[in-house]
Chain A
Amino acid sequence: MKSIAANLLGNVSDAEDAVQESFLKVYRGAASFRGASRLSTWLYRVLLNSCYDLLRRKARHSEPQPAQTSRAVFLAPEEDHPLRLDLEAAVARLAPRRRMAFLLVEVEGFSHREVGEILGVRETNSRVLLHEAKRDLQRLLSAGGAAREARL
């Protein structure tokens, strides 16, 4: 949960706030849980809503900031990849739903069925969102690479 929130919000303290807020919302809304989806997917759905509430609140009170992760506090990933930093920047620029689909499937390892439940869409739509996210990422990564080459 922390990881998704950190990827969406871009910093540790907001991510922790979002996780805490989600638990409170789940506690308050436990009576309204009808069992249509699994508890875990419901919890993640609440988390994503909390993250976007937080982003909206921040956008109202200040200038919107691009999501930037304070990398210093994160522990080194178990398996790093040369593309990670560029990919992280590109993911932050994706449209919200595509970003969520990408993070949930490719980073957190959820199935499309679970992502469908979390995002409230059909399984096929989750696949389409992921495909679109990957297509956008390809474009962003190519543009980023070209700009770097031009600077050099």
Chain B
Amino acid sequence: MRRLACLWFEWASRRGRVRAAEAWEAHAEGCSDCRERLTRQQEISRAAPALRKTWETPSLWPRIEKALAAEARRPSAAAVESGEPPRRQPRLVWLPLAAGAALFLIATVGLQVFRGSLGERELLTARNLPREPLLTEATLAEVENSERTYVRAIEDLSRLAEPHLKNSDSALLVNYREKLLLLDSAIGDLRAQLEQNRFNTHLRRELLTVYQEKQRTLEQVVKEVKS
């Protein structure tokens, strides 16, 4: 009769916990019953790979290919034989329709919202939509050029504000300084991401927002210093 400890070790070990297996092995060193069990298990594991079967099957893959080709032809052939139109899976029939309807709904609602927010401004319609892709190499160069000019202007502003920011102990200016550091770090991140994909308009918009925020902050700093 096995002792309770032996049963516990074996039970814990079979749950697959490494520590429990190690504990059982350690216990087996001093327990002949468990040692015998472990040895037999290890022997089975050593013998198992020999059960792997291999045999030559030169005709199997051609057979599978033939069966797959026959399977590919089957639905249309079955339809011809039965004289019925091919049956479609219900899900495949309604899914594109539902997706189309949902898209239409979203587009309609979105259009109403944008029309309201744009007021008198003209919306892009099918007639005035550009035929070219949204951001071509030429337009991108133009955007980058304007961006550079804008950045230069902000840098000028930054140079004006910098001495005051560095030398001031005012709590407000210290806050501005920290905010500007944060904005610079965000600008650095966005620039690094943009280098991966220069045509990413979403990133460009984000970068512009951050630059605008930097501009506002610098203007506030200059205003604060003047006052």
Q: A14 at the A/B interface (Cβ < 8 Å)?
A: no
A2, B44: Cβ atoms closer than 8 Å: no
Segment at the interface with B among A22-30, A36-44, A48-56, A58-66: A22-30
A106, B71: Cβ atoms closer than 8 Å: no
Task: A74 to B57: give the CA distance in the assembly, Å.
Answer: 11
Among A19, A74, A132, the residue within 8 A (CB) of B54 is A74
Nearest 9 Cβ contacts at the A-B interface: A127-B16, A131-B14, A106-B48, A83-B47, A81-B47, A6-B53, A81-B50, A84-B50, A3-B53
| Given known A-B contacts A16-B60, A19-B60, A20-B67, A77 and B15 have beta carbons under 8 A apart | no
9 contacts between A and B (CB under 8 A): A6-B55, A7-B51, A20-B63, A20-B64, A23-B67, A27-B68, A74-B53, A81-B46, A91-B51
Q: B49 at the A/B interface (Cβ < 8 Å)?
A: yes
CB nearest neighbor in B for A80: B50
A77, B52: Cβ atoms closer than 8 Å: yes
Task: A75 to B16: give the CA distance in the assembly, Å.
Answer: 34
Task: A75 to B49: give the CA distance in the assembly, Å.
Answer: 14
Question: What residues of chain B lie closer than 8 Å to A121, measured between beta carbons?
Answer: none
Q: A73 at the A/B interface (Cβ < 8 Å)?
A: yes
A73, B50: Cβ atoms closer than 8 Å: no
Among A7, A112, A128, A137, the residue within 8 A (CB) of B44 is A137
Q: B56 at the A/B interface (Cβ < 8 Å)?
A: yes
Question: What residues of chain A lie closer than 8 Å to B68, measured between beta carbons?
Answer: 23-24, 27
Q: B216 at the A/B interface (Cβ < 8 Å)?
A: no
Task: A123 to B17: give the CA distance in the assembly, Å.
Answer: 11
Among A28, A103, A112, the residue within 8 A (CB) of B71 is A28
Question: What residues of chain A lie closer than 8 Å to B63, measured between beta carbons?
Answer: 16, 20
Question: What residues of chain A lie closer than 8 Å to B15, measured between beta carbons?
Answer: 124, 127-128
Task: A81 to B43: give the CA distance in the assembly, Å.
Answer: 10
Question: What residues of chain B lie closer than 8 Å to A27, measured between beta carbons?
Answer: 68, 71-72
Q: Within the complex, what minimum Cβ distance (angstroms) separates B110 from chain A?
A: 30
Question: What residues of chain B lie closer than 8 Å to A28, measured between beta carbons?
Answer: 71
CB nearest neighbor in B for A28: B71
**Residue among A19, A79, A81 facing the most chain B CB atoms (10 A cut-off):** A81
Among A15, A23, A80, A109, the residue within 8 A (CB) of B64 is A23
Among B16, B47, B71, the residue within 8 A (CB) of A24 is B71
Q: A107 at the A/B interface (Cβ < 8 Å)?
A: yes
B44, A16: Cβ atoms closer than 8 Å: no
Within 8 A of B (CB), among A80-116: 80-84, 87-88, 91, 102-103, 106-109, 112
